[in-house]
A and B are shown apart, each in its own frame.
Chain A
Amino acid sequence: MIDEVNPVSEPSEAEDGPLRLSRRGALECMVWAGTGILWTLSGGVPKSLGLIGDALAAEASAFTFLQISDSHIGFNKPANPDALGTLREAIGKVKELVVKTRPAFMIHTGDITHLSKPDEFDNADQIIGEAKLKVHYVPGEHDVIDEGLGKAYLARYGKGTMGAGWYSFDDHGVHFIGLVNVVDLKAGGLGRLGADQLAWLADDLKDKSSSTPIVVFAHIPLWTVYAQWGWGTDDGLQALNLLKRFGSVTVLNGHIHQIVQKVEGNMTFHTARSTCFPQPAPGTAPAPGPMTVPADQLRSMLGIASVEVRIGDKPLAITDTTLAG
């Protein structure tokens, strides 16, 4: 189980202790928590706090935000006949965190809907809105398959964004960048950002100090998790190269409905669980489609994430929490 959910190799060198997010630490955190991600980000490389309780005990000055992903509202197949129900449960977890840690906002890393239908967006908005948090979205490929190939998404979430819906904003000294890698895809390829978005990104970063903590989020992983299943972004490396000079870069993705994490230099990569259905670990099934598990196990494979940012020299931490707890 552990190896299956964490197939990407990590740097092999024994690293600088306190800032290093150990594979074992991350996994213990997952196993313990089973539903969300709690990130603490502060000026350095991420570190898992291990238990959500540790995160809750963090100083009041901590800056926290949440991540949910892949709600797939409209999905009704055997892997989860009640996508609305599990999203509602996930938002229930979010509400608990809103009380306990007062997160500044939430990001949704795409596949809000299953088929980009208006009622699917409506239902998702209604339930997610119950969290009463500002939500920053990026689209998944399932959100841009309306007749207008993304017009429906942009009409709802595109205000103030560029192109297909990319944007950046600053909060508590952290620069957040939402990227879109699910439109205008090319035959035989993977996810794609495109020249326009990369040019925008270069321009967006050019005046930023290298000491500015960066959080970049997009639907499909920006690094290659498993090309055979399309789990990567063709020109993701170009984006990562633009981010190399920054001291702390955190890359948050969705799409693969499971947690995969790695640390490479000053960059930490993390993918979130879905709130709807799990997908198989890379290469363990004929295809990356929905994985049907016994009903009593489903909620242990769905979840939300919480990210904590502390100003100073404390490292970032991530905690994942499942819906099962």
Chain B
Amino acid sequence: MAKPLSDSVVARGFRAILAAAVVLASTAPPVLAVDAQVKIANFTFDPPTLTVKAGTTVTWINADDIPHLVSEKDGKFRSSALDTNDKFSQTFSIAGTVEYFCAIHPHMTGRIVVTP
């Protein structure tokens, strides 16, 4: 059986990790709300639980070869279909836990914990 993933997917995912690391490393001071990213790869949200301060804008980026659609579990927010490398951003201004999923692959779930 052939390799399940093309090298390009892996490479793209790796580049996305590096990009995220660069963003995090270059952001200061850490006490302020920083924009955050969730990578969608291999049909999972990474990280599956992300903790951010209120006011943070979270950006999802799709690193898969298949589209995904980020949706709050009751549809309170919803992206359009995200093709490969497409992004979707949502700002979280109220403290609490937000559950979301991929509306076309609903076994994919994630959580944003928003702290005051």
Instruction: Find the residue from A116, A185, A288 having the highest chain B CB count within 10 A.
Output: A185
Given contact pairs A188-B109, A292-B6, A286 touches B65 in the complex (Cβ within 8 A): no
In contact, B6 and A78 (Cβ under 8 angstroms): yes
Within the complex, which residue of B65, B99, B104 is in contact with A187, where a contact is CB–CB below 8 Å?
A: B99
Choose among A142, A228, A289, A293 the residue with the greatest number of B CB atoms under 10 Å from its CB: A289
**Given contacts A187-B99, A187-B109, are A291 and B4 in contact (CB under 8 A)?**
yes
5 contacts between A and B (CB under 8 A): A116-B81, A141-B105, A145-B81, A188-B109, A285-B5
Instruction: Provide the main secondary structure of the chain B interface.
Output: loop
* A291 and B2 contact, CB distance less than 8 A: yes
In the complex, A48→B84 CA distance in Å?
A: 39
Q: Mark A68-99, 1 if CB is under 8 A from B, else 0.
A: 00000000011100000000000000000000
Chain B nearest CB: distance from A222 CB in Å?
A: 16
| B73 partner residues in chain A, CB cutoff 8 A | 186-187
A185 to chain B: closest residue by CB: B106
The distance from the CB of B76 to the nearest CB of chain A, in whole angstroms, is 12
Confirm or deny: A1 has a beta carbon within 8 angstroms of a beta carbon on chain B: yes
Which residues 1-60 of B sit at the A interface, judged by CB distance below 8 A?
1-6, 8-9, 41-44
Known A4-B1, A77-B65, A289-B66; judge A186-B42 contact (CB<8 A).
no
B69 lies within 8 A of chain A by Cβ: yes
Contact B4 A79, beta carbon cutoff 8 Å: no
Report yes or no: A227 in contact with B6, Cβ–Cβ below 8 A: no
* Shortest CB distance A181–B (Å): 11
With A187-B101, A227-B107, A292-B2 known as contacts, the answer to whether A79 contacts B65 (CB < 8 A) is yes
Is A294 on the interface with B (CB-CB < 8 A)?
A: yes
* Residues A115 and B83 in contact, CB atoms below 8 Å apart: yes
Not counting A189-B106, A280-B4, A284-B1, a sample of 15 additional A-B residue pairs whose C-beta atoms are within 8 angstroms of each other reads A1-B1, A77-B6, A77-B65, A79-B65, A115-B83, A116-B81, A145-B69, A145-B104, A186-B73, A187-B100, A287-B5, A289-B5, A289-B9, A292-B5, A297-B2
Chain A CB within 8 A of B103 CB: yes
Q: Using Cβ atoms and an 8 Å threshold, which residues of chain A touch B3?
A: 292
Judged by a CB distance under 8 angstroms, whether A54 is at the interface is no
| Given A287-B44, A289-B43, A289-B64, A280-B1 contact (CB < 8 Å) | yes
- How many chain A residues sit at the interface, stated as a range, is 35 or more
Question: When the two chains form their complex, are residues B67 and A286 in contact, meaning their CB atoms are under 8 A apart?
Answer: no
Query: Are A228 and B107 interface neighbours, CB within 8 A?
Result: yes
Given known pairs A115-B81, A287-B43, the reply for A294 and B104 (CB within 8 Å) is: no
* Interface residue ranges, B against A (CB under 8 Å): 1-6, 8-9, 41-44, 64-67, 69, 71, 73, 80-81, 83-84, 99-101, 103-109
Q: A114: CB under 8 A from chain B?
A: yes
Give chain B residues whose Cβ lies under 8 Å from the Cβ of A190: 106-107
The docked-state distance in angstroms from the alpha carbon of A230 to that of B69 is 15
CA–CA, A230 to B65, complex, Å?
17
Q: Looking across the interface, which residue of chain B has its beta carbon closest to that of A74?
A: B83
B107 and A189: CB pair below 8 A? yes
B17 to chain A, nearest CB (A): 15
Q: Is the CB of B104 within 8 A of A142?
A: yes
Report yes or no: A230 in contact with B8, Cβ–Cβ below 8 A.
no
- Expressed in whole angstroms, the Cα–Cα distance for A114 and B64 within the complex equals 13
Interface residues of A in 153-207 (CB under 8 A from B): 182, 185-190, 192
CB-nearest residue of chain B to A227: B107
Which of A187, A188, A280, A294 neighbours the largest number of chain B CB atoms within 10 Å of its CB? A187
Give the contacting residue for B64; candidates A189, A284, A287; CB below 8 A: A287
Q: Find out whether the CB atom of B106 lies under 8 angstroms from the CB atom of A79.
A: no
A290 in the interface (beta carbon within 8 A): yes
Contact for A114 among B8, B43, B67, B108, CB less than 8 A: B67
